[in-house]
Structure 1
Amino acid sequence: MPRLARKLTVLAALVLLTVPACSSKSGPTPGTSAPLDGVTSPAISPTATGSPTATGSPTAAPVAGTQIVISKFLYSPVNLQVKPGAKVTVINQDAVAHTVTAEPTSGSIAFDTGTVNANASGTFTAPTTPGTYRYICTFHSQMHGILTVAS
């Protein structure tokens, strides 16, 4: 029982540390992004009924399309494949604001939605250079995904 109590204490501490960030009304400083903290989110893929189901790590096979849905602090799909220069729509179904922001490489950010408010949508243009681009939510660093740009 002491082992379970320790795990519950750690879990409670993580929840308490996350709650203030979730309710924050201020955004990040423009041009900055939160670092990845090593926490992975499960990959999400639609079922026949359209509801998301967890399918594993964010390195799951890419899903082709041009839309990312944010729900329950997860990106769906977590690994999206698009054509170079494609317009990607981001739909935020959560009650708090999120972003889809590429991790900086060589000091620049390949794409960024800016703040996508609760129950709203936004867009970004995929890079024209093929490659794999990791992205995060600058408000919630535990949220991350991968955009694969391929011809």
Structure 2
Amino acid sequence: MVADALSRKVISDLRVMFAHLSLYEDGSLLAELQVKPTWINQIKGQQLSDESLNGETEDFSVNSDGVLCFRGKSCMPKDSKLRQKILQEAHSSLNAMHPGGSKMYRDLREQFWWPGLKQEVTDFVSKCLTCQQVKAEH
């Protein structure tokens, strides 16, 4: 079953693709594409220099991409530009459709962890001009 465009979650910054091609005896070709967001490398690079991310407890682990995780969620380093980029993608990308603070927080907490995530999401949504205009109209 193929998901329609509205039910699919797409992050527009997905640019890094790895292809695996298989050629079969009957002449058919199977192409498998693996898409990874480019921000994974940014998170991993920033984690190395962030001293506040120390994985000394059992709740921390490293995933298959080499990213430090807390309870299975990517640990966001203290890099405000990177955090803003993630918030922007989750809220204002073409397919995000400006979710409210609660929905955006629920979606982000499934993938990311950082202290103060909920407050940053609330602040970000409250500063969105599009959301303010829509709220004022209703």
| TM-score, normalised with respect to structure 2 | 0.29
Q: Between the two structures, name the one with larger relative contact order (CA 8 Å, sep ≥ 6).
A: 1
Which structure's residues are more often strand, by fraction? Answer: 1
| TM-score, normalised with respect to structure 1 | 0.28
Which structure's residues are more often helix, by fraction? Answer: 2
Larger radius of gyration: 2
